[in-house]
């Protein structure tokens, strides 16, 4: 019985952690005390502070929650269906493709940065193209080579993005926010488009999570159980691209969340995607809101200690630094496990 | 839902491929088989003039084969003779380039993957490693063909899973992580998965590959016992002719893309077959204990 309750309990605990991180995110600016935030949430306060909360802080925290959930689940789906622990939106051409698509649309005047629907469409097309490029190159090969091709595609797309930036630097005053990833300045207008998109995609992925589990144990296995593997993988990859592109459209290429969170989710909730998907969503949400809170704290500290000017650390800087450290731990632990397995057989 | 009702292995209507369990008629290894008291039983597979090739290289070319309910058949032949390909064709995992395959009287290509999976369980040679997947989680996936992707979202009946784990003798491993099991344990777990799928037909692709002799016999004995208990139709791909002779009641030898020999082990396994199909010289002796032929292989020809 212990096993049967473990998954839901873990998912609930992780959801609570995400909520706490979101609260920390709101409080990290330090200009509005917790009591006031509670009053604003309860609807018992209006005025300037309440307005700051509703128009800036809450949408930003909600963006961080959604972006994190989308990236965490996108990474989990990619790792499951490609059966590669290093598959992630940023290593399969999806995130770099989405960034390039977005910037290309901006430079061609197809959309402007303020248009949420335009940004989402451009990121989606770019993400699909990036993922498809990797897939076309790697489909004949095994999943280890897929990561190599994914890295090559990602490098190529990032290179093209950099060329674009060098060509017309003035067009991208805040290009850094897309390249590194930041949730700063996102409003309800952005969320109104990308929010439902991500929420629906998350729901669809969860509905398919049992099939994901069957697919995760191999194509032959899945086909023998009645799941057409190639078609199912296509649908799952489309879901992952939809999630990653939605995240990029909101906050740019926030790094390492899609790579590290799935490992943490598996460690916490086990290998059954029915629990793994909610766990990855909650952990991803906690990771990005928490990282953004740390980014705010870091910005305040830098402003106070080093430079009197206000500066904003992008969220993606924190996820990259902490994510890289976490990945080192994951890889070292995985390496030990594989070595033990080799000696056992 | 009419297509979910099958004609059971003994001719009675059954629900979704669950073999009829009848205590008065529990088949024993001796009485069970393709020839029940009422003569030959109905065909499970009818393969007519099937050809198949990979990227222009023909593997099978004109295979005709009928496998009846209750039979245990071994497909044998040299590497690359197409025996695994034929097994995959029977499982509907490949489609023939030419010819037709019928499963229980219905064209295989008209059945959906899940409809096939409710009738036929397949044991492939290996299972890719899935980090953290437990035995119970794997065996639970056997419900997929019956319940579909959305039905699987809620926890299903675990009594069936427990029964399958018990039948395959792996109850003690239920909460172990698959990657930590030995080859023999893993193979028994996969038999449990196939049993839990509740199909009347079981296809096994070299189930003894990479196992030591003890575990080879363990798996073959387990399948033989389950075959008798559940009145299954079993098709093996086997490399070891002695195993084929002892654990099946019919051997189908493939060579040059066709059926080169087909019949009971004592008829099929001859020095001529060893030379013609396997390209080795050898002698065939009689095993008095099991009443089966045994090969003593001498030289490659």
pLDDT tens-digit map of A260-309 = 999 999 888 888 899 899 999 999 999 999 999 998 888 888 888 776 66
CB A283 within 8 A of CB A265: yes
- DSSP state, B25? G
DSSP assignment of B247-288 equals H-SEEEEEETTEEEEEE-HHHH--HHHIIIII-EEEEEEEET
Q: Is residue B241 part of a domain?
A: yes
Question: What is the token pair recorded at B189?
Answer: 């777990």
Q: Is residue B149 part of a domain?
A: no
Contact B124 A221 (CB under 8 A): yes
- Residues sharing a CB contact under 8 Å with residue B233, sequence separation 6 or more, in sequence order: B9, B44, B67, B68, B69, B70, B71, B72, B200, B201, B202
Q: The whole model's pTM is what?
A: 0.84
From A60-74, A220-234, A307-321, the region with the lowest mean pLDDT = A307-321
In degrees, rounded to 5, the angle at the alpha carbon of residue B146 between the alpha carbons of residues B185 and B149 is: 90
Burial of A300 (0-12, 13-18, 19+ CB in 10 A): middle
Q: How far apart, in whole angstroms, are the C-alpha atoms of residue A232 and residue A224?
A: 14
Which of B132, B144, B153 has its CB closest to that of A266?
A: B132
CA dihedral A312, A315, A317, A322 (to 10 degrees): 130
Q: Of B175, B223, B177, which Cα lies nearest the Cα of B202?
A: B223
Backbone Cα Rg of chain B: 19
Query: What pLDDT was estimated at residue A113?
Result: 66
Query: By C-alpha distance, which of A126, A133, A338 is closest to A252?
Result: A126
**DSSP strand pairing (B57-68 vs B35-36):** unpaired
* pLDDT, position A260: 92
The per-residue DSSP string of A145-174 comes to HHHHHHHHHHHHHHHHHHHHHHH-GGG-TT
For chain A, the farthest-separated pair of C-alpha atoms sits apart, in whole angstroms, at 68
pLDDT category, A339, cuts 50, 70, 90?
very low
What pLDDT, on the 0 to 100 scale, is given for residue A201? 96
The closest of B233, B238, B247 to B103, measured between CA atoms, is B233
pLDDT digits over A146-185, tens only?
778 888 999 999 999 988 888 777 666 667 778 888 888 8
Phi/psi at A254 (nearest 5 deg)?
Answer: -70, 120
Residue A81: other Cβ atoms inside 10 A: 23
What pLDDT band is residue B131 in, cutting at 50, 70 and 90? confident
ipTM confidence score? 0.79
Give domain status of residue B111, yes or no: yes
In chain A, pLDDT over 70 holds for what percent of residues? 90
Convert the pLDDT of each residue in A240-257 to its tens digit.
989 998 998 888 889 899
Cα–Cα distance measured from residue B265 to residue A177, given in angstroms and rounded to the nearest whole number: 73
Judged by CB atoms closer than 8 Å, whether chains meet at B131 and A210 is answered as no
Query: Tokens standing for B36?
Result: 């029940």
Share of chain A above pLDDT 90, in %: 27
H or E stretch at B245? helix B241-247
Test B175 with A3 for CB contact under 8 angstroms: yes
* Residues ≥6 apart with Cβ < 8 Å to A312: A182, A184, A295, A299
How is residue A21 written in tokens?
A: 């991180």
Backbone angles phi, psi at B68, to 5 degrees: -95, 160
Least CA distance to B91: which residue of chain A? A224
Chain A environment of B197 (Cβ under 8 Å):
225
pLDDT classification of B37: cutoffs 50, 70, 90:
low
In a domain, B190, yes or no: no
How far is Cα B257 from Cα B18, in angstroms, rounded to an integer?
A: 34
CA-nearest of A51, A18, A16, A11 to A32 is A51
Residue B66, class by beta-carbon neighbours within 10 Å (0-12 exposed, 13-18 middle, 19+ buried)? middle
| Mean per-residue pLDDT, A328-334 | 77
Q: What is the largest CA-CA distance in chain B?
A: 59
pLDDT at A299: 85
Is the pLDDT higher at B65 or at A186? B65
Check residue B244 and give its pLDDT: 93
Provide the token pair at B203: 């296809």
B201 DSSP 8-state letter: E
| Rounded average pLDDT over A213-225 | 89
Give domain status of residue B185, yes or no: no
Residue of A nearest to B151 (CA): A210
A220–B152 C-beta distance less than 8 A:
no
Contact B114 A220 (CB under 8 A): no
DSSP-derived pairing of the beta strands B201-205 and B98-103: unpaired
**How many Å apart are CA A136 and CA A120, to the nearest integer?**
24
Pick among A224, A232, A279 to test the B interface (most B CBs inside 10 A): A224
B32-64 in b/e form (b: 16+ CB < 10 A) is bbbebeeeebebbbbbeebbbbeeeeebbbebe
Of B128, B175, B197, the CB nearest to A217: B128
Q: Does residue B158 lie within any of the structural domains?
A: no
- Contacts of residue B114 in chain A, CB cutoff 8 Å? 226-227
What is the average pLDDT across A188-195? Answer: 88
How far apart are the C-alpha atoms of A174 and A153, rounded to whole Å? 24
Domain limits at B75?
2-119+199-262
For residue B89, which of B68, B70, B114, B116 has the smallest C-alpha distance? Answer: B116
Taking CA–CA distances from B130, the nearest residue in chain A reads A217
For all residues of chain B together, what is the average pLDDT? 84
- DSSP output for B87-99: HHHHTTSS--SEE
Nearest chain A residue to B122, by CA:
A224
Return the residue of B nearest to A341 by Cα.
B180
**pLDDT score, position B233:** 95
A224 contacts on B by Cβ (under 8 Å): 91, 93, 117, 121-122, 124
Query: CA of B295 to nearest chain A CA: how many angstroms apart?
Result: 31
pLDDT surpasses 90 at A47: no
Instruction: Name which of A320, A257, A241, A275 is nearest A67 in CA terms.
Output: A257
What mean pLDDT comes out for the span B68-76? 94
Task: Name all domains of chain A by residue range, CATH numbers in brackets.
Answer: 2-344 (1.10.3470.10)
- In terms of pLDDT, which residue wins out, A324 or B18? A324
- Judged by CB atoms closer than 8 Å, whether chains meet at B141 and A344 is answered as no
Residue A225 three-state SS: coil
Please tell me the distance in Å from A115's CA to the nearest CA on chain B. 36
Question: How far apart are the CA of B296 and the nearest CA of chain A, in angstroms?
Answer: 31
CA distance B194 to chain A (A): 9
Mean pLDDT over all residues of chain A? 84
Which percentage of chain B shows pLDDT scores above 70?
A: 86
Dihedral (CA of B111, B117, B119, B121) sign: positive
Asked if the Cβ–Cβ distance from A226 to B144 is below 8 Å, we say: yes
Element (H, E) at B46: strand B43-54
Between B192 and A170, residue with greater pLDDT: B192
B64 to chain A, minimum CA–CA distance in Å? 24
Give me A171's structure tokens. Answer: 């067009």
Paired tokens of B58 = 């023909």
Q: Is B124 part of the contact surface with chain A (CB cutoff 8 Å)?
A: yes
The mean pLDDT of B176-205, rounded to a whole number, is: 90
Quote the number of domains for chain B. 1
Q: Can you read off the two tokens belonging to residue B175? A: 């909460």
Tokens 């509670």 sit on residue: A38
Residue to test with chain B: of A3, A86, A203, A210, most B Cβ within 10 A: A210
In a domain? residue B106: yes
Ranges of H-type helices in chain A = 2-27, 34-41, 48-52, 58-81, 94-107, 116-138, 143-167, 175-176, 188-207, 209-216, 219-224, 229-251, 257-269, 273-305, 315-344
How far, in Å, CA of B246 to CA of B232, rounded? 17
- pLDDT score for B32: 47
Interface list for chain A against chain B, based on CB atoms closer than 8 Å = 3-4, 83, 85, 207-211, 213-214, 216-218, 220-221, 223-228, 266, 270-272, 274, 341, 344-345
**B272: in domain:** no
User: Which residue of chain A is at minimal alpha-carbon distance from B182?
Assistant: A345
pLDDT tens digits along B275-289 = 999 999 999 999 889
Contact B296, B283 (CB under 8 A): yes
pLDDT band per the 50, 70, 90 thresholds, residue B77 = very high
Determine whether the interchain pair B153/A210 forms a contact, defined as Cβ–Cβ distance below 8 Å. Answer: yes
Q: How confident is the model at residue B13 (pLDDT cuts 50, 70, 90)?
A: very low
> Quick one: pLDDT at residue B36?
57
pLDDT recorded at residue B16: 42
CATH classification at residue B20: 3.40.50.300
Does the distance separating the beta carbons of B124 and A220 come in below 8 Å? Answer: yes
How does residue A107 score in pLDDT terms, banded at 50, 70 and 90? confident
Listed by number, the residues of chain B in 125-184 with a beta carbon closer than 8 Å to a beta carbon of chain A are 127-128, 130-134, 136-138, 141-142, 144-145, 149-150, 152-153, 155, 175, 179-180, 183
- Eight-state DSSP code of residue B109: G
Task: Label the pairing between strands B57-68 and B106-107.
Answer: unpaired
CA angle (B89 as vertex; B88, B90 as ends), nearest 5: 90
Residue from B113, B146, B202 whose CB has the most chain A CBs within 10 Å, to mutate: B113
pLDDT digits (tens, 9 = 90+) for A108-154: 887 776 677 888 888 888 988 998 888 888 777 676 677 788 889 99
For residues B208 and B240, the answer to whether their CB atoms sit within 8 Å is yes
Contacts of B15 (CB under 8 A, 6+ apart): B4, B5, B6
């Amino acid at each position: 019985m212990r096993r049967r309750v473990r998954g839901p309990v873990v998912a609930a605990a992780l959801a609570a952690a995400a909520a706490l991180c979101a609260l920390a995110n709101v409080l990290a600016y330090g200009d509005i005390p917790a009591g006031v935030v509670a009053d604003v949430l309860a609807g018992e306060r209006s005025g300037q502070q309440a307005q700051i909360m509703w128009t800036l802080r809450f949408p930003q925290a909600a963006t961080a929650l959604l972006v994190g959930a989308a990236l965490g689940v996108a990474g989990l789906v990619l790792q499951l269906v490609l059966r590669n622990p290093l598959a992630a939106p940023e290593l399969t051409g999806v995130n770099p493709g989405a960034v390039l698509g977005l910037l290309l649309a901006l430079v061609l005047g197809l959309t402007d940065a303020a248009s949420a629907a335009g940004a989402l469409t451009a990121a989606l097309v770019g993400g699909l193209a990036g993922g498809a490029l990797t897939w076309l190159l790697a489909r004949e090969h095994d999943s280890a080579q897929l990561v190599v091709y994914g890295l090559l595609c990602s490098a190529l797309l990032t290179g093209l993005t950099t060329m674009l930036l060098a060509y017309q630097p003035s067009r991208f005053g805040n290009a850094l926010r897309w390249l590194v990833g930041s949730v700063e300045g996102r409003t309800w207008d952005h969320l109104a488009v990308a929010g439902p998109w991500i929420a629906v995609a998350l729901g669809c992925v969860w509905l398919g999570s049992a099939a994901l589990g069957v697919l995760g144990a191999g194509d032959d296995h899945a086909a023998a159980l009645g799941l057409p593997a190639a078609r199912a993988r296509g649908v799952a990859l489309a879901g992952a691209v939809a999630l990653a592109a939605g995240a990029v459209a909101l906050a740019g290429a926030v790094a390492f969340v899609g790579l590290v969170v799935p490992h943490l989710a598996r460690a916490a909730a086990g290998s059954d995607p029915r629990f793994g998907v909610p766990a990855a969503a909650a952990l991803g949400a906690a990771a990005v809101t928490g990282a953004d809170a740390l980014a705010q704290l870091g910005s305040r500290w830098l402003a106070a200690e080093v430079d009197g000017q206000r500066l904003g650390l992008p969220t993606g800087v924190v996820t990259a630094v902490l994510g890289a450290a976490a990945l080192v731990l994951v890889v070292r632990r995985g390496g030990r496990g594989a070595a033990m397995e080799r000696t056992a057989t | 839902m009419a297509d979910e009702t099958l004609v059971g292995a003994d001719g009675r209507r059954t629900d979704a491929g669950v073999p009829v369990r009848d205590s008065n008629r529990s088949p024993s290894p001796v009485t069970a088989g393709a020839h029940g008291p009422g003569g030959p039983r109905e065909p499970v597979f009818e393969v007519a003039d099937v050809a198949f090739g990979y990227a222009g290289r023909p593997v099978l070319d004109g295979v005709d084969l009928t496998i009846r309910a209750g039979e245990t058949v071994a497909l044998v032949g040299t590497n690359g003779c197409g025996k695994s390909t034929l097994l995959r064709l029977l499982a509907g995992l490949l489609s023939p380039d030419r010819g037709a395959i019928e499963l229980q009287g219905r064209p295989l290509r008209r059945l959906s993957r899940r409809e096939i999976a409710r009738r036929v369980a397949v044991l492939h040679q290996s299972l890719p490693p899935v980090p953290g997947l437990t035995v119970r989680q794997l065996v639970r996936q056997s419900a997929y063909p019956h319940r579909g992707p959305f039905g699987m979202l809620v926890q299903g009946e675990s009594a069936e899973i427990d029964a399958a784990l018990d039948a395959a003798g792996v109850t003690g491993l239920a909460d172990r992580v698959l990657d930590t099991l030995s080859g023999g344990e893993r193979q028994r777990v996969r038999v449990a998965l196939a049993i839990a799928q509740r199909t009347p037909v079981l296809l096994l692709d070299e189930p003894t590959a990479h196992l030591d002799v003890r575990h080879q016999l363990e798996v073959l004995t387990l399948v033989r016992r389950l075959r008798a208990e559940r009145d299954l139709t079993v098709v093996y791909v086997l490399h070891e002719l002695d195993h084929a002779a002892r654990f099946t009641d019919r051997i189908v030898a493939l060579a040059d893309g066709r059926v080169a020999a087909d019949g009971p082990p004592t008829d099929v396994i001859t020095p001529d077959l060893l030379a013609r199909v396997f390209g080795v010289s050898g002698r065939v002796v009689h095993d008095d204990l099991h009443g089966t032929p045994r090969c003593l292989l001498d030289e490659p020809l």
